[in-house]
Amino acid sequence: MEKTRSTPCPHAKQCGGCQLQHVPYAQQLAQKQRRVRELLGGFGPVLPILGMAEPTHYRNKVTAAFALDRNRKIVSGIYQPGSHAVVPVDSCLIEDETADAIIVDIRRMLPDFRIKVFDERSGTGWLRHVLVRRGFATGQALVVLVAVSPIFPLQKPFVQKLRELHPEVRSVVLNINDRVTPVVLGTREKVLYGEGAIEDILCGYRFRISPRSFYQINPVQTEKLYRTALDFAELTGAETVLDAYCGIGTIGITASGRAKQVIGVELNHDAVADAIVNARLNGIKNCWFTAGDAGEYMEQMARDGMRPDLVFLDPPRAGSDERFLSSLLRCAPKKVVYVSCDPETLARDLGTLTKGGYRVGKIQPVDMFPYTRHIECVCQLFKEGAK
């Protein structure tokens, strides 16, 4: 039986992170299924959504904002939507419990290590956010302190104390963000302890993840997502595969054993560096990764007359763009597997691809984000008339 949450989260009203807070889980899945059918059913068959057996504490990445409340007491939690007020949250029903515990302990440690929280009103203080990422399969945790300057006098004893409390912390990174911006991480980083990254295991492969690289936040469902993408690809071992928007190379590496070669393209340089390490970490010799805009790369492929047999694409919420899709149509791969975290932009892009001579085989929704309104889908497309 799938569990449903009987008591809603006490922070729900102020936090706003879980839009489906009061909806029993089975009903959430039914709603998402309906939504995907409405948006995408016209393109091809929609398979029943893959839900979670235990849909709580699934988030492997937790970001907490640090601030002073009205009484100048240190609080940590989530920004209230559309405001800079921090809703104090010590434990969240969708976040990893170990990550939450690490954040609470860091907050308690601050006075002993003379760490002041950054105060937006006065522009004084130092610590702005703490980000924790945990590999569910390896247990390793990465802690990123986001602060306004690189000066941290008691860093050594701080790391020592944190490791005493949480031996699972494998690396501590100081990220400098001195700009007024909604983006949590700045561009400068200093490794205080460990490798500056952690490892996790997905679908039997090991992956190194550094602080600014994208990594799917629900690893239990990610395995289902990737296995679906791989099934839909129907690889025989002879194919040249393009993994577009590849992040740290997870999809391409997972597919590498069933393809002749895999080329990955990704905009974020840190993620590309991770992807290259990841291929080596798994003893894989048929994957290449390159940094750049996926559309520009696809255009280059079209210009050079290169024709991958299969293209995986997994763009951000905004979907793909005209440059990528029109070049994809020119390259005319026999098969395309589109992984999407927004069915609306997926519908728009499927419109372009189906007008350009592709036919949708099937669509598989996967519930990557229980209790939120977000929906992930995998879509299989064939080139009409291709053998």
Which positions are annotated as active-site residues? 341
Question: Which of 280, 214, 224 is closest to 253 using CA atoms?
Answer: 280
380 binds ligand SAH (CB under 6 A): no
Torsion 5-9-10-13 (CA) sign: negative
Which of these segments, 8-16, 104-112, 276-284, 314-322, binds ligand SAH (CB under 6 A)? 314-322
314 binds ligand SAH (CB under 6 A): yes
276 binds ligand SAH (CB under 6 A): no
- What the block records as the tokens of 193 is 């302890």
241 binds ligand SAH (CB under 6 A): no
Cβ of residue 240: shortest distance to ligand SAH, in angstroms?
Answer: 18
153 binds ligand SAH (CB under 6 A): no
Which of these segments, 102-110, 118-126, 158-166, 310-318, binds ligand SAH (CB under 6 A)? 310-318
Cβ of residue 358: shortest distance to ligand SAH, in angstroms?
Answer: 20
Q: 246, 311, 366, 381: which one contacts ligand SAH (CB under 6 A)?
A: 246
CA dihedral 23, 28, 31, 33 (to 10 degrees): 180
Q: How far apart are CA 287 and CA 278, in angstroms?
A: 10
Site string for ligand SAH, 37-56 (x = CB under 6 A): --------------------
Cβ of residue 281: shortest distance to ligand SAH, in angstroms?
Answer: 16
Strand partners, 287: 262
Cβ of residue 350: shortest distance to ligand SAH, in angstroms?
Answer: 18
Instruction: State the DSSP code for 22.
Output: T
Q: Which residues contact 34 (CB under 8 A, 6 or more apart)?
A: none
Which of these segments, 111-119, 152-160, 266-274, 364-372, binds ligand SAH (CB under 6 A)? 266-274
3-class DSSP assignment, residue 180: coil
Q: Which residues contact 305 (CB under 8 A, 6 or more apart)?
A: none
3-class DSSP assignment, residue 119: strand
Torsion 89-91-97-101 (CA) sign: positive
Q: How far apart are CA 265 and CA 76, in angstroms?
A: 37
Q: 239, 266, 274, 299: which one contacts ligand SAH (CB under 6 A)?
A: 266
Q: 85, 201, 267, 302: which one contacts ligand SAH (CB under 6 A)?
A: 267
Q: 294, 347, 353, 368: which one contacts ligand SAH (CB under 6 A)?
A: 294
Cβ of residue 114: shortest distance to ligand SAH, in angstroms?
Answer: 36
250 binds ligand SAH (CB under 6 A): yes
369 binds ligand SAH (CB under 6 A): no
Site string for ligand SAH, 198-227 (x = CB under 6 A): ----------------xxx-----------
- Cβ–Cβ < 8 Å for 142, 153: no
Q: How far apart are CA 128 and CA 120, in angstroms?
A: 9
DSSP 199-220: EEEETTEEEEE-TTS---S-HH
Which CB sits closer to ligand SAH, 37 or 323?
Answer: 323
The residues that touch ligand SAH, with contacts defined as CB under 6 A, are 214-216, 245-247, 250-251, 265-268, 271, 293-294, 314-316
